[in-house]
Chains A and B, each alone.
Chain A
Amino acid sequence: MSVENAIQTPNDQILLKVRNLKKYFPTSNGVVRAVDDVSFDVSKEETLALVGESGSGKTTVANVILGKYVADAGSILYKGYEIGNIPLIKRNLLLRREIQVVFQDPATSLNPKKTVKDIIETAINIHYPNLNKYEKIERLLILMNYVGLTEDYLFKLPGELGGGEKQLVAIARALATNPTCLILDESTSNLDVSAQSRILKTLLRIQKSKNLTYILITHDLAVVKNISHRINVMYLGKLMEIASVEELFSNPLHPYTQMLLASIPTISEEESKTLPKGIESKGEIPSAINPPSGCRFRTRCPFVMNICSEQEPILNEVSHGHYVACHLINNMKK
């Protein structure tokens, strides 16, 4: 199966199509419905953010795309090819090359016993086995230069690097395969603010020059605002709202989105004015083992109605590219 052939499919602009994706985890207390019937598209060269609290299933979605887990139901089409049912170990090199990942915790995402050179070289050796030793070193240095690491870092062990530098090495390793799609799984949330901005700038620069597609998983809306194009808001394994960044920040419709936006900490009066007036956050995310009936957000929603517990809201397009799953919004539209 060649991934390259799939580029000529009619839906040219869509890289990844997720349809009715379900992933359940059986536990001793019951089945955790981590991802429950989620559908969305990822266009080429865009940054799609998956946003939600812990336990909303955003990392599980990314892990299914990566192949860490196999989808229980639904499909994931990558360039027209079904990949949701292929576990990572069964994927061929060509497919693994296409989708790479940068993990959350820089401390554990690099092998503590390998130097920076060894770490990046592993990736080059696998995906470019035909290069000679000079070309390999050259490619290694280009990659390091690309993410902004100098030659001095070549022989450092991860333990000798700062959090931001470790994450840069992880990015260089992911780029070594020349990927099309990069999954950023909370890649900046464990870093301090200065390192965070360095990583974000690097990511933006790389995206422009390499035409990469990012799937950004985060709970940090400030990061989302800076680098993503579209946002998927997830809650308890369901999609609540899909919108472009501008639309979502200027006109958030779902009460959960409003709650998330209201929870961005602000310092000055002016800054708080730039953010939409939200609603106070209350309560904790319920268990995914036994989610609330109907709308899953109803237990925390200030606008809860009778219909919310009876019927599950479906994603409706309210304006171009802006989807919301909420009875309140649907009623208002009618």
Chain B
Amino acid sequence: MSITELDYNLIIQKEKEVRKERFKRAWFRFKKSKLAITGLVILSTLLIMAIFAEYLAPYPEHAGMYVNFKERFQYISTKYLLGTDHLGRDIFTRVIFGFRLAFMMIGIVISIVMPVGTVLGLIAGYYKGKWPEHIVLRLADMFVSIPPLILALSICAILEPNIVNAMIAITLMWWPWYTRMVYSMTSSIRDEPYVWAARALGVKDRDIMFKEILPNILGPILTKATLDAAWVILIGSAISFLGLGAQPPTPDLGTMVSEYMAYFPTYWWMIIGPALGIAILVMAFNLFGDGLREVFAGD
């Protein structure tokens, strides 16, 4: 038997087809859940709105420093879909820009926390009983022992209160949870026969971690990431609400809720926009995460 280029290409072609087929099946499992699809639709709508905020928002200039006292405290109308605030800015516009900020925050926090937490967890779990485990786990314990919100608040209080420092605070409090989850999964998989078979073959430790163990725990990690996205918004909003996160006039949903609270209940509609925005975003992420869990559970 000798392999020609043609045979080889046929095999590679077949491999691609099989992969496509597997992806289709995963999508089918996701599609079965109406709620997951709802979550996905809401998320993509909000994401598109956030990306094209300048073009979609009726008054893009209202997102920043803008004052128009003539139009302040306007009730919900066709001109101002969610009314205007105490400085006469369109709340609908500000909520759309708030989504942009929320997505940015989620993106940055998750894209730092997930890889860092995962790699540290893999190392700690794989070298169970050796010094890397002790260092990583004790470090994680240190962060976990302080209540998350208190930790985030104290970091924000030490640093200057702004959106970047709020993200730093959330990132710092978040990674140990990933590390601990990945650690516990890794330390149970590291003694599976297929990992021993890989060791017997001479697969490098790094390849065992990333090619043998990681694909088997990727499902729970991604699911946790989507569910965590909702938490990032909530914690971020909480920090902002307490005045330690984004500062006015930044159109942050949490900051807006905190600002507009001062005019409640006289101008009660002001708070509806940003509060509903947070609720919808959190719910959409949770629905999407549940759908993902279904997809990975079927594997």
Contacts and interface: CB of A to CB of B under 8 A. Distances in A.
Interface of A: 66-68, 88-89, 93, 96-97, 99-101, 103-105, 108-115, 117, 122-123, 126-127, 133-135, 137-138, 141-142, 145, 154-155, 170, 173-174, 176-177
A156 to B, nearest CB: 9
Interface residues of B, number: 28
The binding surface of chain B is classed by DSSP as: helix
Interface string B101-142: 000000000000000000000000000000000000000000
Residue among A105, A127, A134, A155 facing the most chain B CB atoms (10 A cut-off) = A155
Interface in B193-211: 193-194, 196-203, 205, 211
A135 B2 CA distance: 8
Contact of B202 (A93, A110, A135): A93
B212 interface: yes
B193 A96 contact: no
Interface string B165-202: 00000000000000000000000000011101111111
Nearest to B2: A138
Given A89-B199, A110-B194, A154-B11, 4 more contacts: A66-B200, A96-B200, A96-B201, A114-B215
B215 A113 contact: yes
Nearest to A142: B1
B297 interface: no
Contacts of A154: 11, 14-15
Contact of B3 (A112, A115, A135, A145): A135
B199 to A, nearest CB: 5
Interface in B1-58: 1-5, 7-8, 11, 14-15, 18
B162 interface: no
A68 B193 contact: no
Contact of A173 (B3, B192, B199, B201): B201
B202 A134 contact: no
The binding surface of chain A is classed by DSSP as: helix
Contacts of B5: 134
A243 to B, nearest CB: 30
B216 interface: yes
A126 B202 contact: yes
Contacts of B7: 137
Nearest to B21: A155
Contact of A127 (B199, B202, B215): B202
A2 B27 CA distance: 52
Contacts of A99: 200
Interface string B279-299: 000000000000000000001
Contacts of A89: 199, 205
A176 B15 CA distance: 21
Contact of B203 (A103, A108, A122): A122
Given A97-B202, A105-B193, A138 B3 contact: yes
A111 B8 contact: no
Contacts of B212: 111, 114
B215 A111 contact: yes
Nearest to A133: B8
Contacts of B193: 103-105, 108-109
Contact of B15 (A100, A113, A117, A174): A117
B201 A126 contact: yes
Interface in B240-285: none
A155 B18 contact: yes
A155 B3 contact: no
Contacts of B194: 108-111
Given A112-B216, A155-B14, A155-B15, A177 B196 contact: no
B200 A88 contact: yes
Nearest to A105: B193
A127 to B, nearest CB: 7
